[in-house]
Amino acid sequence: MSLTIHPEMRRNLRLLGAAALGLSVGMLSGLFYSMGTLMPAWEAEFGWSRGDMSLSLTFATLAMFVCGTFGGRLGDRYGAARVGASSLLTYGLLFALFPYVLSDVTHLWIGYVVLAIIGVPSTAIIMIRPITSAFDARRGLAMGIAMTGAGVAGFWIPQYVAYIIEIRDWRTAMSALGALACLAAPLIWLGFRNQDAVHRAADRSAEQGVEFAVAVRTLRFWILSIMAIAMSLGVGGLVVHFVPLFTDLGAETLRAAQIASLLGLASVAGRIAVGMLLDRYPAQFVTTATLLMAAAGAMLLYSFGLTLAPLSVMMLGLAAGAEVDLIAYLCSRHFGTRAYGAIYGWQYSIFVLGYGLSPFLVGLSRDAFGNYDSALIGSMLAVGTAGLLAIFLKLPKPAPVAVALTNEISAQSRYTG
Q: What are the pLDDT digits (tens) for 61-114?
A: 899 999 999 999 998 889 899 999 999 999 999 999 999 999 999 999 999 999
pLDDT at 5 over 80: no
Give Cα separations from 2 to 5, 9, 10, 280 (angstroms): 10, 16, 15, 22
Residue 280 neighbours by CB distance under 10 Å: 9
By the 8 A CB rule, do 228 and 347 touch?
yes
Quick: pLDDT tens for 189-207: 999 988 655 555 554 444 4
Burial class of 397 by CB neighbour count within 10 A (0 to 12, 13 to 18, 19+):
exposed
Dist. CA 221–CA 387, nearest whole Å: 15
Most confident stretch, 114-118, 239-243, 326-330: 114-118
Find residue 336's DSSP bridge partners: 209
For 347-384, letters b (16+ CB in 10 Å) and e give: bbbbbbbbbbbbbeebbebbeeeeebeebbebbbebbb
| CB-CB contact of 254 with 343 (8 Å) | no
Domains 7-202 and 205-417 share a fold: yes
Residue 135: pLDDT over 50: yes
Q: Is the pLDDT of residue 366 over 80?
A: yes
| Inter-residue contact 311 to 347 (CB < 8 Å) | no
Residue 192 identity (one-letter amino acid): F
Most confident of the ranges 30-34, 196-200, 295-299: 295-299
Which among 20, 25, 35, 24 is positioned nearest to 180, based on CA atoms? Answer: 25
Count of alpha carbons within 13 angstroms of residue 219, beta-carbon side: 17
The CA–CA distances, whole Å, from 10 to 6, 16, 277 equal 6, 10, 20
Lowest-confidence range among 316-325, 340-349, 382-391?
316-325
Q: Residue ranges of the alpha helices (H) in 135-169?
A: 139-167
Q: Cα–Cα distance between 98 and 109 in angstroms, integer?
A: 12
Question: Helix, strand or coil for residue 313?
Answer: helix
> Could you read off the pLDDT of 221-275 as tens digits, one per residue?
999 999 999 999 998 888 878 888 888 899 887 888 788 878 777 888 888 899 9
What value does the mean pLDDT take over residues 306-321? 89
Query: What is d(CA 336, CA 334) in angstroms, rounded to the nearest whole number?
Result: 6
* Angle formed at CA 196 by CA 194 and CA 200, multiple of 5 degrees: 130
The listed CATH number (3.40.50.720, 3.30.420.40, 1.20.1250.20, 1.20.1070.10) that belongs to domain 7-202: 1.20.1250.20
205-417 belongs to which homologous superfamily?
A: MFS general substrate transporter like domains (1.20.1250.20)
pLDDT at 403: 47
pTM over 0.85: no
For residue 43, with 0-12 CB atoms within 10 Å meaning exposed, 13-18 middle and 19 or more buried, which class applies? middle
pLDDT of residue 1: 39
Domain edges within the chain:
7-202, 205-417
Q: Residue 324's pLDDT is what?
A: 85
Distance of CA 384 to CAs 108, 227, 315, Å?
Answer: 37, 10, 13
**Which carries the bigger pLDDT value, residue 174 or residue 320?**
174
The confidence band for 12, taking pLDDT boundaries of 50, 70 and 90, is confident
pLDDT-derived band at 400, boundaries 50, 70, 90: low
